[in-house]
Structure 1
Amino acid sequence: MIDNETRISSAVVVDELRLNFLPHYLGAQYLRGEALVFDWATRLSSAYKGGSWDFFQLSNGGFYMAPANCGRVHVRWHMNGYSDTMGADAFGIVVTLFALCHLAEKCGDDRIVDHYHALRAYAAQHVEAANILRAID
């Protein structure tokens, strides 16, 4: 069980702070990172057709993006055989993890790797942790 001292919390980013959100976390790679999130969403769910996204900051310094106003999503990743349904928040975490991994590989920035690990730690505490971790395995 996770005690309150190590519990990682998330908070939605208010509209006024959204403009600088991705540049803050991804620096010069923010446009590439955002594009990768949308690309991975399309790759992982045939039901994803675009739309608004919410931004979340984590108490451990991490972040993620998740589709807004979206119900449960069927996610399929052929490279590990994963196929199941998850909530939009969990889907956003999965997509952001895939995008951060991809971006870290492309740009070699250790900050991106640190953000991946911060989000991965939060994912392990998420209500849909088992599903998220199976999807990224």
Structure 2
Amino acid sequence: MNTAEVANLRIEAQECKGDKGLRALQSVFGGASLERRALIMACAKLLSPSATLEGSWCAYQLSNGGFFMTPPAPLRIEIPAAGVDLHLCTEAAGVVCSLYAYERLAELSGGARFVVLRERLMAYARQRPDRTAILECLCQRDGQ
């Protein structure tokens, strides 16, 4: 398979229900899975201060080896300094929150593992129909 064929492969997201979600968390994050889950949720609260984030979060595994979690309801992402005020569906909001968390984890750990997870999730984000809104949240954060 050449590079162009790989670039054109559709990345699929599969929801991990019930115990599969917990196993997916553990396979991605190891023994620190609950702390990593809490960080993704903290990113959601930072980006959506008015949101009630209680309830069941869903885990998704990507066909390219990526992973993300979604909140129980759509989120209003607010980045006042950048003029961002967007309503995102649960999957898009989860992608944004997970990307923020991976970046933070990469900074804290200095490890390439979270950089790879971020790259895989970004590849999926770029294929989504709501990619413009997702990328706006990320670009505004970076000051671009």
- Residues 38-94 of structure 1, C-alpha deviation per residue, up to 9 Å, x if partnerless? 1111011123212210100000000100013x2x42111245432211111100100
Runs of at least 5 residues in structure 2 that lack an aligned partner in the other structure: 140-144
Does structure 1 residue 23 correspond to structure 2 residue 33?
no
Opposite residue 131 of structure 1, the aligned amino acid is: A
- Once the 2 structures are TM-superposed, how far is the Cα of residue 102 of structure 1 from its aligned partner? 0.5
Q: Distance in 1 between matches of 2:7 and 2:123?
A: 14
User: Considering only CA atoms, is the larger Rg found in Structure 1 or Structure 2?
Assistant: 2
Please report how far the alpha carbon of residue 5 of structure 1 lies from its aligned counterpart in structure 2 after TM superposition.
Answer: 5.1
CA 1:58 to 1:46, structure 2 compared with 1: closer, same or farther past 3 Å? Answer: same
Report percent identity of matched pairs.
31
From 8, 27, 31, the counterpart of 2:11: 8
Q: Taking structure 1 as the reference length, what is the TM-score of the superposition?
A: 0.88
Question: Which residue does the alignment assign to 1:45?
Answer: 48
Q: From 44, 61, 66, give the equivalent of 1:62.
A: 66
- Alpha-carbon distance in 2 for matches of 1:116, 1:29: 17
Q: Tell me the TM-score normalised to structure 2 length.
A: 0.84
**Aligned positions, number:** 134
Deviation at 1:4, TM superposition (A): 9.8
1:113 counterpart = 2:108: no
Structure in which a larger fraction of residues adopt helix: 2
RMSD of equivalent CA atoms: 2.1
Q: Give the direction of change, closer, same or farther, for the CA distance of 1:131–1:103 in structure 2 (3 Å limit).
A: same
Structure-1 separation of matches of 2:109 and 2:35: 10
Q: Deviations over 1:8-62 (max 9, x none)?
A: 0000002121222222112344233111111111011123212210100000000
CA 123–78 in structure 1, closer or farther in 2 if over 3 Å, else same: same
Could you list the structure 1 runs, at least 4 aligned residues long, displaced by more than 4 angstroms after superposition.
2-5
